[in-house]
């Protein structure tokens, strides 16, 4: 599945609404975003683990997402290290390895964008994780994935 990642790259200093991507056929959704610390991201991720939330994991480069169909439960490998297993694929994320962490939220979704990894020079690389607030079933993730990556 290919699509655009969470939202335009800009450094939010406070909550700000986000609109739909140019040329998108998805209805505009008001989203708020704010920059957070690695510790705050760890707290959010721990909450998702505790609640057994199904998490969508998308890897993006240059605004294009691939493997955004990786949906599974998250577990903690150690402080600041998170593992998501989906089928035969295991992904790991270290929150302290990113210079920019953005929390994005609307009525249905909470997302975390991890951008600008330390010591990694590929322009536009990011990892996006998001959950549905209302803990829907897997068959309902298609429209949510399409909306978040538009």
Interval 96-115: pLDDT, tens: 999 999 999 988 889 999 99
Q: Please indicate, yes or no, whether the overall pTM of this predicted structure exceeds 0.75.
A: no
Is the pLDDT assigned to residue 31 strictly greater than 80?
no
Mean pLDDT of the chain: 75
Determine the 3-state secondary structure of 39 from DSSP. Answer: helix
Which of residues 13 and 82 earns the better pLDDT score? 82
Which pLDDT band holds residue 67 (cuts at 50, 70, 90)? low
Report pLDDT for 118: 92
Whether 116 contacts 102, CB under 8 Å: no
Determine the 3-state secondary structure of 130 from DSSP. Answer: strand
Report pLDDT for 86: 83
Report pLDDT for 106: 87
Q: Domains plus CATH for the chain? A: 3-8+30-148 (3.40.1570)
Q: What is the average per-residue pLDDT within 34-59? A: 92
Which long-range contacts (C-beta less than 8 Å, at least 24 apart) are formed by 67-76? 67/1, 68/1, 68/3, 68/128, 68/145, 68/149, 69/1, 69/145, 71/138, 71/141, 73/49, 74/45, 74/48, 74/49, 74/129, 75/49, 76/45, 76/46, 76/49
Of 23-27, 39-43, 128-132, the poorest mean pLDDT is in 23-27
């Amino acid at each position: 599945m290919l699509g655009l990642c969470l939202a335009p790259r800009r450094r939010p200093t406070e909550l700000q609404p986000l609109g739909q991507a140019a040329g998108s056929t998805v209805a505009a959704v008001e989203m708020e975003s704010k920059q957070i610390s690695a510790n705050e991201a760890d707290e959010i991720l721990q909450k998702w683990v505790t609640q057994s939330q199904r998490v969508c994991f998308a890897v993006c480069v240059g605004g294009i997402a691939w493997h955004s169909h990786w949906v599974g439960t998250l577990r903690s490998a150690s402080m600041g290290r998170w593992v998501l297993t989906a089928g035969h694929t295991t992904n790991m994320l270290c929150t302290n390895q990113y210079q920019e962490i953005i929390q994005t939220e609307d009525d249905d979704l909470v997302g975390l964008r991890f951008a600008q990894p330390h010591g990694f020079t590929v322009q536009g690389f990011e990892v996006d994780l998001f959950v549905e607030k209302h803990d829907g079933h897997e068959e309902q993730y298609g429209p949510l994935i399409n909306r978040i990556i538009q």
